[in-house]
Amino acid sequence: MNPIKDRVIVFDVGGTKTTYGTVENAVISNFKKVNSDIINKKGVDFFTEIIDNTEGGISGIIIGVPAVVDNNGKILSAPNLKSIERHNLKDLLKEKYSVPVFITRDVNLQLFGEYSTFYKDDYSNALGIFIGTGLGASVIINKKIFTGINGAAVEIGHVKYPAGNNIKCNCGKTDCIELYSSGMALDRYIKNYKEETGKDITKEFFFSCDDKDLDKYKKLFFDSLVFSVSTLVNLFDPGLVIIGGGVINADKFPFDKLVDLIKSDLRKPLPLENTDFRLSQLNYESNIIGGYYFFKSINL
């Protein structure tokens, strides 16, 4: 048996932080976390330098990106990470290293890591909603990630929010939902709040701060998020909904309130009565494990 058959390198590229590590038999080693700015500086060289320095050989490369990736591995649109847009990372890495290369949306790694670790024996379908720098979603149907024909399925963050305020998105459209419910949205709300009131708060206190001047921003955040999640649950009837990401996993986020609001917008009696909502338990390292399982699920 080839000793490196089960050894892969996984990159999880986020809008703010990027992590990577080698995974063998579902165990991670050499885990690193860096600021994503380094990718904007180095571009493709960021990946090749790390792979070149990985000792012991690898049998596959998996990269999760906050972007739309076509089925040929070309990164079509990365509104929050422009330096890797339009590159065909897959062809480039495949040619250089002669191993299978999978490039997919970062949220697919997040959902698959969580699902494979905790839920795969009890559920065949799942919806993942992740609120970090942007807003991303992913769907598992019959134990596999549903990528769509073009790798662009379930891109809820760039669906138009009907009650928006005519704000332009980095993707070129206006009023994409992630402009209203994401880490980027919180930054804008806090900036506007400071301009209006002179008061300064950090993102960590946005949800716990009791100032009524913040209420309109909290309402925009929750209304748009509830609109997106309840729409996806009504469409897919997944049975299991995992919600996570930096904003949601922060200490003071009112997760129970969010779930109640989503439930009040679900179709009754189903899917409402048969949908479980879970807070994401995983962390950066587990997304890397998710990449490993994703690789194995495609490679079977």
- Using CB under 5 A as the criterion, which residues of the chain lie in contact with Zn ion when the complex forms? 158, 169, 171, 173, 176
Q: What is the largest CA-CA distance in the chain?
A: 66
**CB 155, min distance to Zn ion, A:** 9
| Residue closer to Zn ion (CB basis): 229 or 289 | 229
**CB 183, min distance to Zn ion, A:** 15
Which residue in the block uniquely carries the two structure tokens 């994503």? 36
**CB 291, min distance to Zn ion, A:** 25
| Residue closer to Zn ion (CB basis): 99 or 171 | 171
User: DSSP characters for 78-133?
Assistant: -TT-GGGTT-BHHHHHHHHH-S-EEEEEHHHHHHHHHIIIIITTT-S-EEEEEESS
| Residue closer to Zn ion (CB basis): 50 or 171 | 171
Which residue in the block uniquely carries the two structure tokens 């250089």? 96
| Residue closer to Zn ion (CB basis): 68 or 103 | 68
**CB 225, min distance to Zn ion, A:** 16
Extended beta strands in the chain, E state? 7-13, 17-24, 27-35, 60-65, 68-69, 75-77, 101-105, 126-131, 135-141, 144-145, 240-244, 276-279
| Residue closer to Zn ion (CB basis): 23 or 81 | 81
The strand pairing partners of 33, in sequence order, are 19
| Radius of gyration of the CA atoms of the chain, in A | 19
**CB 176, min distance to Zn ion, A:** 3
